[in-house]
């Protein structure tokens, strides 16, 4: 090798330094890429291990990184909460002092919560149900609370009947003065319903699905264990304290309609996770028209609590469920798991568009043995995206509301490109009438509208009350009819420009309305079919819906359809039938109706087997149908 001069030596040193830097950068880049791939694959793996497919409605849940702990909360956990009026909620704390440093430690204590996170506070109050600290499983704890028309109900777990040493029971109590004094039921659940949770709706049960309270629980009698299944019961809201009034979910019939049995031994699961469920909660997100279920699950060896969390959504309290979020290590601090439990989304802390919610929870580690909340932001499938469903608060739809004063029957039917539309647009009540809210629908208005109608408020006054201070009134389409046949309609003055046609036509004892339709022929075909069909009111509703569909219906497609019928003398909905997701929903609904044996049906040939396609020249047919 020859002699290297100083200039060559300087160039060589600079090149060697550059190569060294690049090698270090390459090593760093590779490690970073591997790290990111590992994190991404971990998230994909967690999602792939979820018990249900990913939601097509709520496409993403993002957590705010901050855990907000209520200032002034000294200690306590579990923290069920009930929305009792516009501004206040009642909560129960377990094994702690609650919100006063000088308070005694209680196994069960109570507090009033005011405000919304992060600016909220709570204050203890004394009750005749205050229970000295019993320590974990040997002291009663509130599993859930709910306010229903002025009555506050509470289930407690870890109840030990007199003369027994068995703490794995659940008991019900009721208060008529916001929790100060309690009346206890003379019965208790001793099997399966070990940690009962009410399906939560709005303020004082506003916007409830129907006249029932729904109760869900992990399917065992011990709140400290895990069960793969979740079970459900329901009871009329005026019979909550009566054990004989409870009906237990026992599966679905061939038409996808839920079955209910008075025999608890016939119960069946509404939800299953092989990794277990514990201390579940279900809340109705009114703006999205979806039920949100939260539960812990096991993430490895068997233990009482984990850092895992699953969030699921469904169009009904009993499903079918889809996964929104599923993670084995949801709660982590400084690289270590934090054991958390009894996570729930209080409806009061859901935004008006349903796209942000606050999760309430507590935990054993990481300073979480207190009143903790964490904000969740949801991404909802957008209108016009070829791979997604429409935005959740815009139901572009055609529907019919109708009554038969002579038979005391009322009903509504609906179809749309919006999923599960039959469960969020039409509302019916025996002896009262029918109501539809669509195109920027508001599910909370369903029961509210019928409540006003039941008080002899004129239909047009009902709509005026609903729309009075509503910021979206120019985008909503509403239709309401009372049992006298009086109709009121509100069409959207500022409907989305993508809609081709919207409007309504009404006649004797009915009204047909729609938006984003192919043209006016849709509602006129519906009206003609309703007037000319011979049969029961349910028959005529189905005939009208089919006629609208065959005339072109919603110009964007045919995803979902449903019918609801009520009859005087029969509590709740007399007939309900849905197709939640299909390539040809109205025709699939018609097939189900034809196969159905029900008193609501009449002599209409279109509602009988063998089924004859009413617009058979249409080539589009159903592939997969989801109820």
Tell me if 575 sits within 8 A of 257, measured CB to CB: no
Query: 216 or 35, which is more confident?
Result: 216
Query: 584 or 169, which is more confident?
Result: 169
- Residue 616: the pLDDT is 65
Query: 626 or 550, which is more confident?
Result: 550
Mean pLDDT of 241-261: 90
Let me know the angle formed at the C-alpha of 470 by 468 and 476, rounded to the nearest 5 degrees: 105
Q: What percent of the chain has pLDDT over 90?
A: 68
- Residue 3: the pLDDT is 39
- Residue 613: the pLDDT is 85
Mean pLDDT of 314-343: 94
Q: How far apart are CA 297 and CA 273, in angstroms?
A: 8
Give the CA-trace dihedral at 274, 275, 279, 280, to 10 degrees: -60
- Residue 393: the pLDDT is 45
Per-residue model confidence as pLDDT tens digits over 582-603: 888 999 999 999 999 999 999 9
- Residue 618: the pLDDT is 57
pTM (two decimals): 0.61
Mean pLDDT of 537-560: 86
- Residue 415: the pLDDT is 94
426: Cβ contacts below 8 Å, ≥ 6 apart:
399, 401, 412, 413, 414, 434, 435, 436, 562, 563, 564
Per-residue model confidence as pLDDT tens digits over 476-526: 999 999 999 999 999 887 766 555 678 899 999 999 999 888 888 899 999
Mean pLDDT of 169-178: 97
Per-residue model confidence as pLDDT tens digits over 366-423: 999 999 999 999 999 843 333 333 333 444 589 999 999 999 999 999 999 888 889 9
Mean pLDDT of 107-119: 95
50: Cβ contacts below 8 Å, ≥ 6 apart:
310, 323, 326
Residue 254 has pLDDT above 80, yes or no: no
Tell me if 138 sits within 8 A of 157, measured CB to CB: no
Query: 396 or 252, which is more confident?
Result: 252
| Phi, psi for residue 463 in degrees, rounded to 5 | -65, -40
Per-residue model confidence as pLDDT tens digits over 288-300: 889 999 999 998 8
Residue 153 has pLDDT above 70, yes or no: yes
Q: Please name which of 412, 438, 451, 455 lies closest in space to residue 562, comparing C-alpha atoms.
A: 412
- Residue 25: the pLDDT is 40
- Residue 491: the pLDDT is 87
Per-residue model confidence as pLDDT tens digits over 1-24: 333 444 444 444 455 444 544 444
Mean pLDDT of 427-439: 95
Tell me if 522 sits within 8 A of 505, measured CB to CB: no
Per-residue model confidence as pLDDT tens digits over 35-67: 444 444 344 444 548 999 999 989 999 999 999
pLDDT band of 126, cuts 50, 70, 90: very high
- Residue 498: the pLDDT is 56
Residue 565 has pLDDT above 80, yes or no: yes
- Residue 27: the pLDDT is 44
Mean pLDDT of 63-84: 96
Tell me what the pLDDT averaged over the chain comes to. 86
- Residue 389: the pLDDT is 36
Q: Please name which of 301, 273, 276 lies closest in space to residue 226, comparing C-alpha atoms.
A: 276
Per-residue model confidence as pLDDT tens digits over 91-102: 999 999 999 999
């Amino acid at each position: 090798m020859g002699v290297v001069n100083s200039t060559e030596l300087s160039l060589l040193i600079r090149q060697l330094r550059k190569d060294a830097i690049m090698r270090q950068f390459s090593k760093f880049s590779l490690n970073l890429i591997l790290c990111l791939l590992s994190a991404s694959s971990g998230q994909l793996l967690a999602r792939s291990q979820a018990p249900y497919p990913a939601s097509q409605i709520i496409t993403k849940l993002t957590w705010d990184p901050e855990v907000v702990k209520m200032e002034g909360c000294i200690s306590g956990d579990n923290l069920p909460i009930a929305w009792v009026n516009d501004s206040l909620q009642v909560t129960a704390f377990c094994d702690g002092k609650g919100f006063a440093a000088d308070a005694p430690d209680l196994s069960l204590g109570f507090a009033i919560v005011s405000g919304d996170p992060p600016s909220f506070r709570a204050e203890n109050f004394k009750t005749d149900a205050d229970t000295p600290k019993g320590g974990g499983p040997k002291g009663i704890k509130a599993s859930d609370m709910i306010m229903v028309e002025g009555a506050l109900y509470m289930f407690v777990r870890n109840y030990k009947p007199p003369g027994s040493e068995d703490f794995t029971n659940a008991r019900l109590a009721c208060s008529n003065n916001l929790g100060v004094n309690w009346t206890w039921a003379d019965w208790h659940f001793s099997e399966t319903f070990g940690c009962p949770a009410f399906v939560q709706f709005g303020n004082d049960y506003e916007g409830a699905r129907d006249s029932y309270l729904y109760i869900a629980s992990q399917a065992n009698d011990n709140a400290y264990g895990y069960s793969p299944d979740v079970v459900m019961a329901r009871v009329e809201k005026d019979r909550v304290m009566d054990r004989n009034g409870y009906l237990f979910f026992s599966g679905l019939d061939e038409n996808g309609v839920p079955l209910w049995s008075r025999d608890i031994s016939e119960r069946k699961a509404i939800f299953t996770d092989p990794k277990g469920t514990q201390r579940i909660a279900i809340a109705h997100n009114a703006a999205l028209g979806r039920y949100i279920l939260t539960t812990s699950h096991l993430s490895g060896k068997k233990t009482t609590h984990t850092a895992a969390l699953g969030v699921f959504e469904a169009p009904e309290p009993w499903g079918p469920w889809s996964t929104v979020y599923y993670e084995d290590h949801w709660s982590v601090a400084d690289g270590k798991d934090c054991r958390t439990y009894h996570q729930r989304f209080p409806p009061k802390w859901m935004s008006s568009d349903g796209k942000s919610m606050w999760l309430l929870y507590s935990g054993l580690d990481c300073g979480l043995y207190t009143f903790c909340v964490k904000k969740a932001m949801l991404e909802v499938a957008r209108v016009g995206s070829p791979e997604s469903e429409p935005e959740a608060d815009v139901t572009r739809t055609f529907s019919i509301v109708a009554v038969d004063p002579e038979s005391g029957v009322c009903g509504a039917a609906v179809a749309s490109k919006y999923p599960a539309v039959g469960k969020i647009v039409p509302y019916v009540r025996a002896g009262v009438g029918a109501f539809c809210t669509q195109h920027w629908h508001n599910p909370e208005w369903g029961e509210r509208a019928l409540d006003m109608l039941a008080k002899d408020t004129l239909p047009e006054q009902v709509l005026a009350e609903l729309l009075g201070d509503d910021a979206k009134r120019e985008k909503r389409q509403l239709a309401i009819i009372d049992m006298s046949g009086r109709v009121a309609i509100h069409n959207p003055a500022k409907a989305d420009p993508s809609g081709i046609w919207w409007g309504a036509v009404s006649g004797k004892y009915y009204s047909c309305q729609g938006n984003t339709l192919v043209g006016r022929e849709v509602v006129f075909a519906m009206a003609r079919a309703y007037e000319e069909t011979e049969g029961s009111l349910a028959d005529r509703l189905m005939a009208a819906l089919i006629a609208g569909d065959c005339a072109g219906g919603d110009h964007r497609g045919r995803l979902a359809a449903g019918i609801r019928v009520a009859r005087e003398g029969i509590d709740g909905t007399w007939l309900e039938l849905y197709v939640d997701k299909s390539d040809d929903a109205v025709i699939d609904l018609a097939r189900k109706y034809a196969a159905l044996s029900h008193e609501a049906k009449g002599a209409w040939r279109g509602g009988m087997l063998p089924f004859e396609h009413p617009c058979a020249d249409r080539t589009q047919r159903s592939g997969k149908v989801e109820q």
